[in-house]
Amino acid sequence: MVRCWLVERSYGDRNLVTLVYATPDGERAVRKEVPMTAISNGTVTVTAAKEVDETALNRVEGSRVERYQAEAARVSAAHDPDDEI
């Protein structure tokens, strides 16, 4: 398991929230789509960090590596892993 930090949250037109959790170096990430209702009713909790199985992580390409690295550093400095954000 690898600790990954929330680096991106976006809202889609299908009432889905896309969450991206990345490794501290920004080089690997996992993307999850979650129904907005699952977040609002407490079924899904969005935390600052998640423990992710290494096999679920995908390589990050290009400028996103630096952006994810910077955001992971910012989130980890400001929040404990279990903080809801």
43-79 pLDDT per residue, tens = 888 999 999 999 999 999 999 999 999 999 999 999 9
Q: What percent of the chain has pLDDT over 70?
A: 100
pTM score = 0.91
pLDDT at residue 52, as a whole number: 95
Rounded CA separation 72/25 (Å): 8
Strand partners, 2: 52
Instruction: Assess whether pLDDT exceeds 80 at residue 34.
Output: yes
Longest distance between any two alpha carbons in the chain, whole Å = 36
In this predicted structure, what is the pLDDT of residue 61? 93
Q: How many helices (H) and strands (E) does the chain have?
A: 2, 5
Please choose, from the candidates 44, 63, 52, the residue with its C-alpha nearest in 3D space to the C-alpha of residue 22: 52
Task: Sort 76 into a burial class: Cβ within 10 Å, 0-12 / 13-18 / 19+.
Answer: middle
Q: Is the pLDDT of residue 5 over 90?
A: yes
pLDDT above 90 covers a percentage of the chain that reads: 79
Predicted local confidence at residue 15, as pLDDT: 85
CB neighbour class for 53 (10 Å; exposed up to 12, middle 13-18, buried from 19): exposed
